[in-house]
């Protein structure tokens, strides 16, 4: 396998997400290791094929999902990156979905991504939109708010 620069892979990975479609999901093969570890508030997966399955399923449940990466923080010493991003889509059950989050990416010696961990507030962006559950969460959060 030809070694590539981690920064080059990172740029391609950003493009992969910003142009993600059902037809391009399998392009993940070129950017990540086979045993890719992926984590978000709902999933912990240890396989590139499972991550591809997750992204493919996203298109079954959401209309027009779109990622936009706004900022990249690169660490040469650790060969890692943190991406600040926004995600927009429409859900038949929840309506408009807008999520802001960050992803931590770790690269191996061949410049491929072996770890992708997403950090975003599932309570704010997802659970509060569910009618009864959202009311309970907002009630719990009320005493913790400054205003």
| Overall size of the chain counted in residues | 147
pLDDT tens track for 82-104: 999 999 999 887 788 889 999 99
The fold for domain 6-120 equals Nuclear Transport Factor 2; Chain: A, (3.10.450)
The pLDDT-based confidence of 78 (bands split at 50, 70, 90) is: confident
Residues 6+ apart with CB under 8 A from 125: 97, 98, 99, 100
pTM over 0.75: yes
pLDDT tens track for 18-48: 999 999 999 999 999 999 999 998 899 999 9
Question: What are phi and psi for residue 126, nearest 5 degrees?
Answer: -130, -65
E-strand ranges in the chain read: 32-39, 44-46, 62-75, 80-91, 95-107, 113-119
Burial of 81 (0-12, 13-18, 19+ CB in 10 A): buried
């Amino acid at each position: 396998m030809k070694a590539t620069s981690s920064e080059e892979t990172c740029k391609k990975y950003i493009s992969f997400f910003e142009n993600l479609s059902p037809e391009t999901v399998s392009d993940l093969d070129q950017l990540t290791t086979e045993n890719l570890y992926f984590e978000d508030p709902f999933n912990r997966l240890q396989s590139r094929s499972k991550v591809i399955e997750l992204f493919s399923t996203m298109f079954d449940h959401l209309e027009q999902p779109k990622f936009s990466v706004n900022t990249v923080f690169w660490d040469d010493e650790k060969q890692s990156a943190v991406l600040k991003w926004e995600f927009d889509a429409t859900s038949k059950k929840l309506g408009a979905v807008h999520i802001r989050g960050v992803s931590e990416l770790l690269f191996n010696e061949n410049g491929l991504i072996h770890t992708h961990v997403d950090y975003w507030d599932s309570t704010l962006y997802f659970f509060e939109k569910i009618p009864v559950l959202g009311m309970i969460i907002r009630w719990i959060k009320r005493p913790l708010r400054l205003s």
